[in-house]
Amino acid sequence: MVPIHAYLMLAMILFGIGAFGVLVSRNVIVMFMSVELMLNAANLVLIAFSRALGVVDGHVFVFLVLAVAAAEAAVGLAMIITIYRNRETINIDRYNLLKW
């Protein structure tokens, strides 16, 4: 028996690390991965409460979140490639000009 707080704490820490990564990192790709990590932290909460309540609705949500994450990664990476062609860098600080 693991208290549900343990799972929530884990999700909270992972979410915090993800948020920290998004804000601090200058590497666009690491930022993207941090966003994925935050999504997964939310998934963990859904699954933990699913188990606590004994219903699988949360699992369906997690499945949909995974699908959306995949879509997000595909579009995001396409954007990174396009920006890299123009800027020749993945440093987020250099992406300050929204024209070319």
Partner 1 sequence: MTLDYAIFLISAAVAVFGATMMIMQRNPVASVLYLILSLVAQAVVYVQLGALFLGAILIVVYAGAILVLFLFVIMLLNLRSNPELSASLPPLGWFTKVAVPVLMVVELYFVVDRVIWPPVPTGIVGKNPDFGSVETVATMMFTDYMYPLQLTGVLLLVAVVGAVVIARRESAEPRKTTASPDNRNEQPIDTVAG
What residue ranges bind partner 1 (CB under 8 A)?
1-10, 12-21, 23-27, 29-30, 32-34, 36-37, 40, 43-44, 47-48, 50-52, 54, 56-57, 59-60, 62-64, 66-75, 77-82, 84-85, 90-91, 93
Contacts of 39 (CB under 8 A, 6+ apart): 65, 69
What single DSSP character describes residue 51?
A: H
> Minimal distance in Å, beta carbon 10 to partner 1?
5
> Minimal distance in Å, beta carbon 98 to partner 1?
15
Question: Between residues 55 and 97, which has the closer beta carbon with respect to partner 1?
Answer: 55
Give 25: exposed, middle or buried? Use CB within 10 Å, 0-12, 13-18, 19+: middle
The number of beta carbons lying within 10 Å of the beta carbon of residue 7 is 17
> Minimal distance in Å, beta carbon 88 to partner 1?
9
- Three-class secondary structure of residue 96 per DSSP: coil
> Minimal distance in Å, beta carbon 23 to partner 1?
5
